[in-house]
Each structure stands twice: as C-alpha cells, then as structure tokens.
C-alpha cells in the first residue's frame, strides 16, 4: 500500500489526476495480502481448522473492488472510479466462470484415475461383477456404435439440407427450414429420446422397447440441426467467384457443388461434424430412455438393450451395490473417459479447422 | 414441391442436376417432417394419459393435470433461478472477451468458455452432488439461521445440500456458454463508429459500453437469455442426480423437499414405468416439448427480426 501513497506527488501535468501506472495490480496484490493476513490470524487463533485459501481470494477480491473504487474516486473522480470498478467486476465474472471448469476437470481426474488405471477397465464388461473390478468395454462399444450410426444418418441429411439452403433454397420453404433448424437446436435431449421411444413403440407394437438403433435416431434428431447450421456457415464462406468461374466454364451446377464448393469448405464441414459428435456423445437422457442399460456386451444395434458410456456413469452412480465406493469410483472413471473423448474430439476439430482452412484473400 | 427448386434453376436441366437438387430438397424437407413427427408421435402416445384411471397416478393425485402441475412449476422455477444467476455473469464474460481482454487472447478465452459447453451433463451431475452440494451446504445452514424469516430461505435446512438452489447453480453453469456465445457475437457487431464516437466525446470505457454497446445488444441479450432458458428447462441428468425431489409445489430454496422438474422426473421413473405409467411420462414430455418450443421460437424470432435492421450483416 505504501508504494501507491509514495507515488502520489505527481510532477508530470499530463498524468496529473490519475492513479500511477500498474497501481491497480499493486492494489490487488495488497488486498490479497491483507485478506491473507486476516485469515492467517484467524487460523493461528485456533478458531478454524486449516488456512482458508478460497476465502482469502474471494475476500481479497472484494476488498480490491472497494479499494480501487475509493482510491480512484479520491484521485480521478467518480466517472473513472466507476469505470475501474466495472472493469474489476467484468474480469471477476470471467474468472468466476472458469472456476467450475477447473473444479470439474480436477475432481474428475483425481476421483477417476484409480479405477481408470485398473487393468480390466478397458478390456472387460460389467457382466457378473458385484464389487470392485470390471470395466467399461461394453459401454465404449455401445457408445461408438450408437454415435457412429447417428453420424451416418445425420451427416448426409444435414449436409444435403445445408446445400439446399445455400445453393438452391429461395422463398418460404428455405426460410421455414432455417427457422425450424434453429428451433430444433433447442429441443431438450430427453424429448428426442421420448420421440424415438414413441416412434418405435408404435411401429413394433412393443411398449417396453429398448435397442441401440433407437438411440441413434434420438441422437440424430439432436445432431442434424447442429450439422446443418455449421455446414451452412461454411458453405456461405465459399467465395461466389469460384462458383461463377465454374459456371462460366460450362460445368453443371451439381458438379460445381460437388467438385468446387464442397472441396473448398470440407475442412470447416469436418470440424462442424466433429463438434456435433462431441455434443451428442455425452447425451445421457435419450439413451437412458430408448437404449436402456445392461451389464453385458451387445454388438447388435437392432436387438436388446445396449449400454453407453454416459448411461454407464449414471447407472453406476444411481444403482450402487453393496460396495458403494467401487461403483462411485467407476462412475468417476467413466466420466473421465467421457471427458477425454469429448476434449480430444474438440481439440482435433479445432486443429483441422486451423490446418486445412482455405486461405481466403491475401 | 419440386417446382420450387425447378423454377429457380435457369440453366439447361441435366439429369444430374435434377437428381441432386431434389435430393437436397428432400433432405431439407425431412427436417421439417422430423419436427412434425416429434410432435405427432408424442401426442399419439400421450393420449391415453389424459383419460387415465385415477388409480394409475402415484401419490394423492387423481388426474394428469394435478400430476404435471408441480412438475411444470419445478421446471420453470429452477430454470428461472438459473437464469437470474447466469445472465449477469454471462454478460460480464461476453463484455470481457469482446471489449476488455487483449485482442490476441480474446479468441482463446472464448474457446475456454466453449469447453464448458462440451462437458457432458452426467459429469455436471456427478460434480454437483460430489463437490458442489457439500461445498455450499454450510452456507445454506447460515442462510437459514440468519434469513429464515424470508420465505424462500425458510428452514428446515437440507443436510445434504441437494436442494433446488444447488440445482439452479449447476444449471446456471451449464447455460453460461450459450448465453455468453450469443452475447459476444452481438457485442462484436456493435457499429465501431458508435463506439469511437462515444470514446471521442470523452466517455470512459464503461460509459462507452453503456451508451453504445448495451443498447445495441439488448435484443440479443434478451434472446440469448431465452435460449439459455430453453436449455435450462430441458436439462435432465444434472437435475435428476442432484435434486432430492418431492411431488408438491414448494417455494423454499434450501430444504430437502423440492419440486421436481419434468425432465428429471421422466429420467428417474422411466426405466421402471409400465402400462399407462409410460404414457403419463410421455405426456409430461409433450408438455416440456411445447414449453421449450414456444420459448425457442420467441427467442429465434427476436434474433431474426434484429438481423433485418441491424445493418451489421
């Protein structure tokens, strides 16, 4: 605090009436120091057990907001003080949003690693396992098959629909499709699961139907709008000059789209598809409804219940057996596997977008 | 329907063209058909619930509407609480990324927030019950002790922290990324001349934001909030795992008795449901679909009308 006060006698008239440079940083550090001292005293007095780091940072940050406002108001006036206060608050909002992200990743890694590292985790199913041990192979196979089938359904439909919107669609139908694609992105995932269930329960007249392909249909309902939106954005980025050049050479429109427009935008489209896979691979509710859960392997999408990774995490947590810690450990390990898959998909998608994006202009 | 595409193509019609354009048209129309199918199949399968025998409903409810009423209340209550927490923070984050952070870092920071959207909802559920609930429970005890006279904070306090308030915090974290993403886009579209004019007149950065950015972005903020509301209404697993539910309308935020939400009620009861019970759950799903559809359509309509006259595109 003294460094701030020492600097106040100002000589340069241009900087008169301003807090010195970097003063906000020093005030922040000073506030944290004061609050750390307060909590250290509380700790040493023996009233609380353990030094409260979270309390130190939170209390110190609040103290900083007050201190910067008061100091700035004294030196720079009320308008500048308000500006500094809002800067502090806006930055704090950003940091607050990062806390859950850090906390989630940290707890998942710490709680998930013990079961994640057991040798059987990726090589066996849960069949006949009552206590610790067993693995998620059945869930991983199920997730890959269900999500893979959903991708096979959604990508052609989504891509063709986005081509229609960009290259062919004019008038009311195109406007309606654009609008309802946006609306569809907001359909709750559980409603998609209920739809798939209602559809197949009526088709096969089986009120207790559970099978993997139904899960693929439910995921497709969630995935198609995402694929359409991202592909549409990418197709729109293709410069019109390329299309006009192809037309001028006498290339038919459909060949222009296949040979000129799609290759130009393929990196962006692949990125969008991967992001949409990352979005649906973690969906639990629709698969709980229509794909059900089991502890055995099932390689058949069209028959019997099929386990998937998110549902595995949920059922391990929800239906704990006698050795509940083993179930909770497996739930966290499943969550860790899921997070790793999603993060890898996200990272790959960004890298593809970065490496292969067409170099437009200059 | 093919005439729509045919009239717009002026070039000579080749078979390849015709096949390709009708394929894209079919794919486009299929999307509308799917949306209609979702509504129709849900409606058909939920019809038995509306005329179900009173004995089919669990608890002391005797017809569908008294069964779904508390669920609708719980759904909206939790979503609105989440929205109240998420919107100010999201606006702050969006402003930070668009106007405060260094330009080089801004995109990376945006990705960081988007990562939050990539975390699967079961993981949020595990985190909510394993980390957040024990963390906030002592605060709840204090709140009930000090502010118990204020109706929403009335006791008895939940011993586990699995209350609707915890659920709202988890939901708020989950809807932060979408609200932030849209607000950020809108804030970046603010005409640069408006911002520079404000700065040139001597406004501080916050005054510039209040005079130029926020008024321009207000419709965007409103529709982003409504999209976030739609997400929060439909969120299932996090609620199903964290909440300790009951079947009544309960305003208290911190007790162990909380109104359940539609989605979580379906997820909890569907695996064991049979007979008309399945139809009842499907009917509650239909209610959820209708509510979210209305919210989303309103939000999209606001965004689209804004696009027309913003001049930014």
User: Given the DSSP bridges, would you call strands B258-259 and B245-246 parallel, antiparallel or unpaired?
Assistant: parallel
Using only the alpha carbons of chain B, give its radius of gyration: 24
> Are A289 and B282 an interchain contact pair (Cβ–Cβ within 8 Å)?
no
Query: In Å, what is the CA distance from B236 to each residue of B124, B231, B242, B297?
Result: 11, 10, 10, 21
Confidence check: pLDDT of A58 > 90: no
Is A90–B92 a contact, with Cβ atoms under 8 angstroms apart? Answer: yes
Q: Which residue on chain A is closest to B38 by alpha carbon?
A: A195
Contact A278 B204 (CB under 8 A): no
Looking at residue A243, its pLDDT comes to 92
Residue B169: which of B201, B139, B146, B189 has the closest Cα?
A: B139
Q: pTM for the complete prediction? A: 0.87
The complex's ipTM? 0.86
> Is pLDDT of A59 > 90?
no
Q: What is the pLDDT of residues B265-293, one digit of tens each?
A: 999 988 888 888 888 899 999 999 999 99
Asked if B41 and B117 sit in the same domain, the reply is no
DSSP characters over chain B:
-HHHHHHH--SPP-HHHHHHHHHHHHHHHHHHHHHHHHHHHHHHHHHHHHT--GGGSSTT--SHHHHHHHHHHHHHHHHHHHHHHHHHHHHHHHHIIIIIS-HHHHHHHHHHHHHHHHS-HHHHHHHIIIIIHHHHHHHHHHHHHHHTTSGGG-SSPPSS--SHHHHHHHHHHHHHHHHHHHHHHHHHTS-HHHHHHHHHTT--HHHHIIIIIHHHHHHHHHHHHHHHHHHHHH--HHHHHH--EESS----SSSS-EEPPHHHHHHHHGGG--THHHHHHHHHHHHHHHHHHHHHHHHHHHHHHHHHHH---
Q: How many domains does chain B have?
A: 2
Is the CB of A245 inside 8 Å of chain B's CB atoms?
A: no
> Per the CB < 8 Å rule, is B120 touching A103?
no
By the CB < 8 Å criterion, does A50 face chain B?
no
CA distance B168 to chain A (A): 14
Cβ-Cβ contacts under 8 Å, A314 against chain B: 122, 125, 237, 241
Task: Tell me how close the Cα of A123 comes to any Cα of chain B, in angstroms.
Answer: 23
Is the residue at B58 inside a domain? no
Over the stretch B155-208, which tens digit does the pLDDT of each residue have? Answer: 788 888 889 999 999 999 999 998 998 898 888 888 899 999 999 999 999 999
Q: What is the CATH number of the domain that holds B109?
A: 1.10.3720.10
Q: Are residues B30 and B129 in the same domain?
A: no
Cβ within 8 Å, pair A338-B234: no
CA distance B212 to chain A (A): 15
Report yes or no: B277 and B269 within 8 Å, Cβ to Cβ: yes
Of A170 and B179, the structure prediction assigns the larger pLDDT to: B179
Tell me the per-residue pLDDT of A120-167, one tens digit each, with 9 for 90 and over. Answer: 888 888 888 777 778 889 999 999 999 999 999 999 999 999 999 998
What residues contact residue B292 under an 8 Å CB cut-off, 6+ apart?
A186, A187, A188, A191, B230, B233, B234
Minimum CA–CA partner of B263 in chain A: A190
> Can you give the pLDDT at residue A8?
52
Do B152 and A137 contact (CB within 8 A), yes or no? no
Same-domain status, B137 and B170: yes
A79 touches chain B (CB under 8 A): yes
Which one of B16, B206, B297 has the shortest CB-CB distance to A83?
A: B206
User: Residue A299 carries which DSSP code?
Assistant: -
Burial of A205 (0-12, 13-18, 19+ CB in 10 A): exposed
Residues 145-204 of A with CB under 8 A from B: 156-161, 163-165, 167-171, 173-174, 176-177, 179-192, 194-195, 197-199, 201-202
Task: Name the band, by pLDDT with cuts 50, 70 and 90, for residue B313.
Answer: very low
Average pLDDT, rounded, for chain A: 86
Neighbouring C-beta atoms of residue A260, cutoff 10 Å: 17
Task: Dump pLDDT digits (tens) for A90-110.
Answer: 989 998 888 899 999 999 999
Together in a domain, B119 and B174: yes
Spatial contact of A190 and A286, defined as CB atoms under 8 Å apart: yes
Chain A, 320-339: which have a CB under 8 Å from a chain B CB? 331-332, 335, 338-339
In a domain, residue B22? The reply is yes
CB contact (8 A) between residue A191 and residue B288: yes
Cα(A55)–Cα(A36) distance, rounded to whole angstroms? 9
Cα–Cα dist B167/B170, whole Å: 5
* Average pLDDT of the residues of chain B: 86
- CB distance B28–A253 less than 8 Å? no
CA B278 to chain CA centroid, nearest Å: 25
**Would you call B230 and A335 a contact, using CB atoms and an 8 Å cutoff?**
no
B149 vs A247, higher pLDDT: A247
DSSP string, A205-271: T-TT---HHHHHHHHHHHHHHHHHHHHHHHHHHS-HHHHHHHHHTT--HHHHIIIIIHHHHHHHHHH
Alpha helices in chain A (DSSP H): 2-6, 23-44, 53-76, 78-116, 137-163, 171-184, 189-204, 212-237, 240-248, 253-256, 262-281, 285-290, 309-318, 324-356
CB contact under 8 A, A186 and B173: no
Same domain, yes or no: B138 and B190: yes
Residues B221 and B119 occupy one common structural domain: yes
Instruction: Tell me: do B22 and B90 sit in the same domain.
Output: no
Cα–Cα distance measured from residue A266 to residue B14, given in angstroms and rounded to the nearest whole number: 25
Q: Which of B44, B100, B303 sits opposite A91 (nearest CB)?
A: B100
B75 in a domain, yes or no? yes
| Whether A306 contacts A145, CB under 8 Å | yes
Task: Inform me whether the pLDDT recorded for B95 exceeds 90.
Answer: yes
Q: What is the DSSP letter of A295?
A: S
Angle at B82 between CA A92 and CA A57, to 5 degrees: 25
Q: With contacts defined as CB-CB under 8 Å, which chain A residues touch B40? A: none
Kindly give, in sequence order, each residue whose CB lies less than 8 Å from that of residue A362, ignoring residues fewer than 6 positions away: none
Residue linked to tokens 């595109």? B313
Task: Give yes or no for a contact between B243 and B167, defined as CB atoms under 8 angstroms apart.
Answer: yes
- B38 and B177 both lie in a single domain: no
Within this chain, do residues B45 and B103 fall inside the same structural domain, yes or no? Answer: no
Res A362 pLDDT > 70: no
Residues on chain A touching B95 (C-beta within 8 angstroms):
90
Comparing CA positions, the residue from A269, A322, A315 lying closest to residue A294 is A315
Residue B293 lies in a domain: yes
Is residue B55 domain-resident? no
CB within 8 Å of B80: residues ≥ 6 apart: B229
- B145 located within any domain: yes
Please give the average per-residue pLDDT across B79-103, as a whole number.
92
What's the confidence (pLDDT) of residue B309? 45
Same domain, B37 and B71: no
Eight-state DSSP code of residue A167: I
- In chain A, which residues have their Cβ closer than 8 Å to the Cβ of B109? 94
Q: How confident is the model at residue A281 (pLDDT cuts 50, 70, 90)?
A: very high
Evaluate whether residue B57 is within a structural domain: no
Measure in Å the smallest separation between the Cα of A4 and chain B Cα atoms: 23
The reply to whether A303 touches chain B by the CB within 8 Å rule is: no
For the segment A203-248, what is each residue's pLDDT rounded down to a tens digit?
A: 888 888 888 999 999 999 999 999 999 999 889 888 899 999 999 9
Cα–chain center distance at B75:
11
Cβ–Cβ gap B241/A192 under 8 Å: no
Residues of A in contact with B122 (CB under 8 A): 282, 284, 310, 313-314, 335, 338
Phi, psi of A134 (to 5 degrees): 75, 180
Domain match, B199 and B85 both: yes
Q: A354 versus A152: which is more confidently predicted?
A: A152
B-chain residue closest to A328, CA distance: B126
> Are B239 and B296 part of one and the same domain?
yes
* Structural domains for chain A: 2-113 (no CATH), 137-356 (1.10.3720.10)
Handedness of CA B71, B75, B80, B81 (dihedral sign): positive
Distance CA A15, CA A8 (A): 11
- Rounded to 5 degrees, what are φ and ψ at A148? -60, -45
Testing the interface with A: which of B2, B134, B236 to mutate, by most A Cβ within 10 A?
B236
- Band (pLDDT 50/70/90 cuts) for residue A119 is confident
Domain span at B72: 65-310
């Amino acid at each position: 605090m003294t460094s701030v006060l020492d600097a106040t006698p100002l000589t340069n008239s241009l900087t008169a009436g301003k807090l010195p440079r970097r003063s906000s940083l020093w005030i922040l550090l000073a506030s944290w120091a004061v609050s750390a001292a307060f909590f250290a005293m509380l700790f040493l007095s023996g009233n609380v057990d353990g030094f409260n780091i979270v309390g130190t940072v939170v209390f110190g940050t609040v103290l900083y907001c007050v201190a910067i406002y008061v100091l700035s108001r004294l030196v720079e006036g009320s308008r500048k003080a308000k500006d500094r206060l809002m800067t502090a608050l806006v930055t704090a909002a950003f940091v607050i949003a990062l806390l859950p992200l850090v906390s989630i990743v940290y707890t998942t890694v710490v709680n998930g690693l013990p079961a994640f590292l057991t040798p059987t985790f990726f090589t066996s199913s849960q069949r006949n396992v009552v206590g610790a041990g067993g693995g998620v192979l059945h869930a991983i196979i199920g997730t890959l098959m269900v999500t893979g089938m959903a991708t096979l359904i959604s990508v052609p439909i989504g891509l063709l629909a986005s081509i229609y919107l960009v290259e062919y669609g004019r008038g009311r139908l195109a406007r309606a499709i654009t609008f309802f694609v946006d609306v569809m992105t907001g359909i709750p995932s559980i409603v998609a699961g209920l739809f798939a269930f209602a559809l197949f329960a009526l088709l096969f007249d089986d009120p207790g139907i559970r099978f993997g392909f139904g899960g693929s249909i439910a995921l497709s309902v969630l995935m198609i709008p995402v694929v359409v939106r991202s592909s549409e954005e990418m197709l729109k980025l293709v410069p019109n000059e390329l299309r006009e050049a192809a037309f001028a050479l006498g290339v038919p429109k459909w060949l222009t789209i296949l040979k000129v427009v799609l290759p130009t935008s393929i990196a962006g489209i692949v990125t969008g598809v991967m992001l949409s896979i990352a979005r649906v691979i973690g969906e639990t509710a629709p698969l709980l409804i229509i794909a059900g859960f089991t502890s055995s392997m099932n390689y058949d999408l069209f028959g019997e219940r099929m386990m998937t990774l998110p549902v595995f995490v949920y059922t391990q947590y929800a239906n704990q057996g006698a050795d509940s810690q083993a179930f909770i450990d497996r739930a966290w390990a499943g969550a860790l596997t899921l997070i790793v898959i999603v993060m890898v998909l996200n990272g790959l998608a960004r890298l593809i977008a970065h490496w292969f994006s067409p170099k437009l202009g200059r | 329907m093919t005439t729509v595409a045919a009239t717009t193509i002026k070039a000579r019609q080749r078979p390849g063209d015709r096949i390709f354009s009708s394929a894209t048209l079919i794919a486009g129309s299929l999307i509308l058909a799917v949306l209609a199918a979702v509504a129709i199949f849900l409606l058909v399968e939920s019809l038995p619930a509306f005329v179900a025998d009173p004995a089919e409903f669990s608890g002391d409810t005797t017809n569908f509407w008294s069964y779904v009423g508390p669920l609708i209340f719980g759904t909206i209550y939790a979503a609105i609480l989440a929205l109240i927490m998420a919107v100010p923070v999201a606006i702050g984050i969006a402003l930070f990324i668009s106007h405060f952070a260094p330009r080089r870092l801004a995109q990376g920071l945006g990705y960081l927030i988007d990562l939050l959207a990539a975390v699967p909802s079961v993981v949020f559920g595990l985190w909510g019950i394993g980390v957040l609930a024990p963390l906030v429970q002592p605060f709840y005890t204090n709140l009930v002790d000090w502010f118990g006279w204020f109706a929403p904070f009335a006791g008895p306090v939940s011993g586990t922290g699995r209350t609707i308030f915890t659920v709202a915090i988890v939901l708020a974290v989950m809807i932060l990324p979408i609200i932030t993403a849209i607000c950020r886009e809108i804030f970046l579209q603010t005409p640069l001349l408006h911002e520079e004019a404000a700065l040139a007149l001597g406004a501080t950065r916050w005054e510039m934001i209040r005079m130029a950015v926020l008024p321009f972005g207000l419709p965007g903020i409103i529709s982003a909030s409504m999209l976030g509301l739609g997400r929060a209404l439909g969120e299932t697993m996090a609620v199903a795992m964290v909440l300790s539910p009951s079947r009544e309308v309960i305003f208290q935020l911190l007790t162990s008795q909380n109104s359940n939400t539609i989605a979580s009620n379906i997820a909890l009861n569907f695996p064991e449901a049979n007979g008309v019970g399945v139809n009842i759950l499907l009917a509650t799903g239909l209610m959820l679909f209708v509510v979210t559809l209305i919210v989303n359509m309103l939000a999209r309509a606001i965004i689209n009308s804004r696009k027309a006259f913003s001049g930014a595109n």
